[in-house]
Structure 1
Amino acid sequence: MKVLFSLILIVFVTIAGFSQNLKISNDGKYLSTEKGEPFLWMGDTAWELLHRLNREETDLYLNTRLAQGFNVIQTVVLAELDGLNTPNAYGEKPLIDNNPELINEAYFEHVDYVMEKAQKLGLQVALLPTWGDKFNLKWGDGPVVFNSKNAETFGHILAKRYLKYDNIIWVLGGDRIPEEAVHFDIVRAMARGIRSVDTKHLISYHPSGTKIASDYFDDKWLDIDMYQSGHSRISKEYEFIKKVDAKRPFINGEARYENIGDRFWDKSQTGWLDDADARIGGYWSMLSGTAGYTYGCNDVWQMYAIDKEPMIKARTGWSQALQLPGANQMKYLKALFESFPWQQMSNNQALISSENPEDESYIVASIGHKKDFIIAYTPTGRSIQLDFSKMKAKEVKSFWYNPRSGKSKSAGTFKTTENPVFEPWSNGWGSDFVLVVMDANSEYQMPRF
């Protein structure tokens, strides 16, 4: 079994190769590699990775996520869970006397190890210099240690240290929005510190729940726009992109976490978000026009273990939670979109001619720019009728794609003058399906698992 797992990892590493610096596409809508190949951001939130895991545990985490198809790891240098005063796995704290201008070399040697390991595996690291409670306490442990002067210095220190790496995306914020002038000053100072050294890595901003980065920072340094759709089953992930001027790649950087309480902040919360929530958030985001999606798990972001205080009712150890169904199903989402020119899709709800109430079963559809394929997603198995006249082909072939397994089967061949109703073979919560329609003469291939 160990030999087989090693072979699988070798295959994945060979495919991924070493990381490349990412850049913005010419049209500004998506990310691409240095070679100009579209890069679909498939992220995972590992906020406490640098703070709580040792090197052996880090290897397990990164290797597992690589094998599951993830290509971006989101983590934090000055972590949320008392990241300044509780030492890392090696007994080291990140700062000397909690001064952002004085870093502890021993702590950062471990950060270096994680960056090196991720780069060798071909994984991008969306690296947050700090969690937001270090400049806007709001909630959490803090303490607030930043002002505009030391924030610029800290940004400069980090940028200089990690300039040589090809696998970094800087992410400011940390589950916060600025509420006072001083907060804006601190964030802009940190960006300025990074840019004083580093002009090759992209910068984004991670806002708090239901917020959009560019609503607060429409600055030149903001290369990637990001939103947090939040941990709610009634979240409409497809709505956010309608609220922005799409001049930057747009990423759903934190969505419904698997294994977290639905709207956990509400005392009346009774249910738990599951793998279906993770899939819905992903397909709704991608089909609305985002350049990527970040999966998350309540147990994994905090690297919960039985000897740790559980946050938000964490209940499964992180190493076991790595294998929750939603995490393993993200590779099917990624593979489906990468089988088509996803970066050239356009959301078009007029494609759907059947009734489509805007509830948890809302169908979202997108069409390729050549009008040669349509992808439509039904979250609970609601039937779909599409307007084929919006395609250029005279005849189309259709497929049902199962987002739980990555398997597909034919749904028939039709003239574009026909108006068939596509009825999934199951419905209800967890019975989500993807309908793919393409020109009968196209060379697109459905993924194979």
Structure 2
Amino acid sequence: MHPLRSFSLAFVAFMVTLAVYGQGKWPHGRVTVAPDGHYLQYEDGTPFFWLGDTAWELFHRLTREEIGQYLDNRKEKGFNVIQAVVLAEMDGLFTPNQYGDIPLVDQDPEKPNESYFQLVDDVLQMAAERQLCMGLLPTWGDKVTRMWGGGPEVFSVENAYHYGRWLGDRYREKENIIWILGGDRPAIHDSVDTRPIWREIARGILEATAGEALITYHISGGKQSTSQQIHREPWLQVNMMQSGHGSGHDVPVWEWITRDRAMMPTKPTLDSEPNYEDHPVNPWPQWDPKNGYFDDYDVRKQTYRSVFAGACGVTYGHHSIWQFWSEREEKINHADRYWTEALDRPGAFQVGYLRRLIESRPFADRIPDQTIIVNGQGEKGQHIRAFRDGAGSYLMAYIPQGRTITVDVTSLNAGALRGWWFNPATADTVDIGPVEHTRSLELTTPTLGFGNDWVLVIDGVAAMRR
């Protein structure tokens, strides 16, 4: 089968899946950790590639109609995880949602406001009808420890358990929830150790769901990952990092993924907040746009290289969408367009292409393999990442700046090979044709230089025909 044909068939299957889920069915069960410990799957064994979107203020700032518009748009682009916060960051305990409701009575986690949570109920159902998991944050981190942000700190060890248990009881039947603790905070910072509180929230959720809940933790930006502070917490099933927006271009997230994958016990890992599209390129806390804004090319470089390094998926973000900036709200950190105008930005389409590319081949046994790159490797913005599958039926390499490279394809268990180029910006393909089964295959990308990123795909012909 021609590679372009196989990608087209994968796309058709992808759209059929969306149509089935659009009828309100959820046939595969909850998302769980795959047996190898590196990736995710549904309960029935179907592989799951996490493609998230940051919608932090969803419950707080949108109406039901607007939420439906947003979810429809994300479903169409191929997202399957929506990361949103129950107790929102932006004055979420005092400023009501669009229906006049605040989440807690008297800012007490043991007194949830039923009318507020009815909206959360509705959104979970709306998401399920669209094949979307909700990456549900019980609270933003400033409600546990301010460190920075507005707070107030309302959690203790005692009420944290009761809040987690209440959430777990309320949503125990919802199979489309992935629980995300943390909310942009380290678990330990200087003398502040918030692990006891997060443990209790997790304990409450797990007890209520008979241990079936999948739980991870959204950490703050920087070189740290959850693997550095809470890897051995038994409730933490997936490690997360935030390569973020505060360290300029080409943060080496691929090194962090590699580090996490090597840790024991084995756990999946992913970048849950890379650089947002249309976010100012400037360190926190200034966020001054004098250095310009991250664009879709920046998004592609970070998302592709983390996934090709062995992440179980990746999360996209847009600077206007996480905050849902509109004429009703005050903009945060120099957002440059309303959220409705940001829905169709290029990066949002392009991360969907990434998911379809990964799913166009068997992807549950991906093995990162930098020995594939013999010559042409670069640093920072020129750094290449590569992987192959465990069966040796194909390999892929992401080249962030077009160039001539030499690759070793002897890891493929096939005599006849065929190659093609995939354009991450457009999803177009260029057929290379038959290639030699050699340790020194030299190839040149169709276009060269900065802004011209390509994926090299080489298949065993016998595997393509199956």
Same fold by TM-score greater than 0.5: yes
Alpha-carbon distance change, 175 to 110 in structure 1, aligned in 2, over 3 angstroms: same
> Could you tell me how far 1:204 is from its partner in structure 2?
0.4
Task: Report whether the alignment pairs 1:382 with 2:393.
Answer: no
Match of 1:334 in 2: 355
Q: Pick from 219, 228, 251: which aligns with 2:242?
A: 228
28 and 331 in structure 1: CA distance in 2 versus 1, 3 angstrom threshold: same
Q: Which residue of 1 aligns with 2:148?
A: 139
Aligned letter for 1:435?
L
Does the CA-based 8 Å contact 1:340-1:444 persist in structure 2? no
SS at match of 1:73: strand
| Aligned CA distance change for structure 1 residues 428 and 311 (closer, same or farther; 3 Å) | farther
What do residues 47-106 of structure 1 show as CA deviations (whole Å, max 9, x unaligned)?
A: 000110000000000011000000000000000111111100101100001011101111
Superposed, 1:98-117 pairs within 5 Å as: 98-117=107-126
Distance across 2 between alignment mates of 1:229 and 1:394: 40
Inter-partner Cα distance in structure 1 for 2:85 and 2:75? 19
Instruction: Using the TM superposition, give the Cα deviation of residue 444 of structure 1 relative to its aligned residue in structure 2, in angstroms.
Output: 6.7
Give the 3 Å change call, closer, same or farther, for CA 414–11 of structure 1 in structure 2: closer
Cα distance in 1, alignment partners of residues 438 and 214 from structure 2 = 46
AA partner of residue 117 (structure 1): M
Distance across 1 between alignment mates of 2:164 and 2:19: 31
From 32, 35, 38, the equivalent of 1:29 is 38
SS at match of 1:103: coil
Provide Cα deviations, 1:186-233, integer angstroms capped at 9, x if missing partner: 111111121221221200011011321132212111111111111231
What is residue 148 of structure 1 aligned with on the other side? 157
One-letter code aligned to 1:315: D
Q: Which residue identity is paired with 1:18?
A: K
Secondary structure of the residue that 1:272 maps to in structure 2? coil
**2:71 counterpart of 1:62:** yes
Query: After the TM superposition, which of the residue ranges 183-192 and 70-79 deviates more from structure 2?
Result: 183-192
Alignment check: 8 A CA contact 1:361 1:382 kept: no
Which deviates more, 421-430 or 228-237? 421-430
After TM superposition, give the deviation of residue 18 of structure 1 in Å.
Answer: 2.9
Alignment of structure 1 residues 193-204 onto 2, 5 Å: 193-198=204-209, 199-204=211-216
For residues 27-426 of structure 1, what are the structure 2 equivalents within 5 Å? 27-178=36-187, 179=189, 180=191, 182-198=193-209, 199-210=211-222, 211-217=224-230, 218-231=232-245, 232-244=248-260, 245=263, 247-265=266-284, 267=286, 270-417=291-438, 419-426=440-447
Structure 2 distance, partners of 1:107, 1:15, is: 26
The separation in 1 between residues aligned to 2:159 and 2:219, in whole angstroms, is: 21
1:10 deviates by 8.8
Whole-Å separation in 2 of the counterparts to 1:444 and 1:157? 52
| Alpha-carbon shift at residue 392 of structure 1 (Å) | 2.6
SS in 2 for 1:106: helix
- Conservation of the 8 A alpha-carbon contact between 1:262 and 1:273: yes
Tell me the alpha carbon deviations over residues 156-175 of structure 1, each in whole angstroms, 9 at most, x when there is no partner.
Answer: 11111111111001110000
How far the C-alpha of 1:34 sits from its partner, in A, is 2.0
In structure 1, what residue type is equivalent to 2:55?
A
Letter in 2 for 1:342: F
1:339, 1:444 within 8 Å by CA — same for their partners in 2?
Answer: no
Contact residue 276 and residue 429 of structure 1 kept, 8 A: no
Could you say what secondary structure the match of 1:100 adopts? coil
Q: How many percent identity over aligned positions?
A: 38
Check whether the contact 2:417–2:460 (CA below 8 A) recurs between aligned residues: yes
- 1-side partners of 2:88 and 2:465: how far apart? 43
* Partner secondary structure for residue 382 of structure 1: strand
Mapped to 2, the partners of 1:46 and 1:316 lie a distance apart of 16
Q: Would the alpha carbon gap of residues 387 and 418 (structure 1) be closer, same or farther in structure 2, given more than 3 Å must change?
A: closer
Amino acid in structure 1 at the alignment position of 2:315: T
TM-score w.r.t. length of structure 2: 0.90
Matched residue type, 2:270: I
Count residues with an aligned counterpart.
438
CA contact 1:229–1:254 (8 Å) conserved in 2:
yes
Going from structure 1 to structure 2, the CA distance change for 1:389 and 1:226 (only over 3 Å counts) comes to: same
Q: Give SS of 2:52's match.
A: strand
Residue 250 of structure 2 contacts residue 302 of structure 2 at CA under 8 Å; is this kept in 1? no
Cα separation, 2, equivalents of 1:378 and 1:45:
26
Give the corresponding residue for 1:3: none
Whole-angstrom distance in 2 between the partners of 1:300 and 1:9: 24
Which aligned segments of 4 or more residues in structure 1 are displaced greater than 6 angstroms? Answer: 8-11
8 Å CA contact retained: 2:109, 2:155: yes
Q: Quick one: distance in 2 between partners of 1:61 and 1:273? A: 22
CA distance in 2 between counterparts of 1:349 and 1:80 reads 40
2-structure distance, mates of 1:31, 1:194? 20
Deviation at 1:390, TM superposition (A): 2.9
> Would you say the 8 A contact 1:287–1:366 is kept in 2?
yes
RMSD after superposition:
1.9
Contact 2:407 2:439 in 1 (8 A): no
Alignment of 1:9-24 (within 5 A): 12-14=18-20, 18-19=25-26, 20-24=29-33
AA aligned to 2:353 is Y
In the alignment, structure 1 segments of 5+ residues that lack a partner are 1-7
Tell me how far apart the structure 1 counterparts of residues 332 and 298 of structure 2 sit (CA, whole Å): 20
| Matched residue SS, 2:403 | coil
Query: Shift in Å at residue 11 of structure 1?
Result: 7.3
Q: CA deviation at 1:263?
A: 3.4
Of the structure 1 ranges 75-84 and 172-181, higher mean CA displacement relative to structure 2 is found in 172-181
1:274-300 alpha-carbon deviations (Å, 9 max, x no partner): 111111111101110011110110000
Task: Measure, in 1, the Cα distance between the counterparts of 2:36 and 2:54.
Answer: 28
Listed as ranges, the gaps of 5+ residues in structure 2 are 1-13
CA–CA distance in 1 between the matches of 2:31 and 2:380?
A: 36
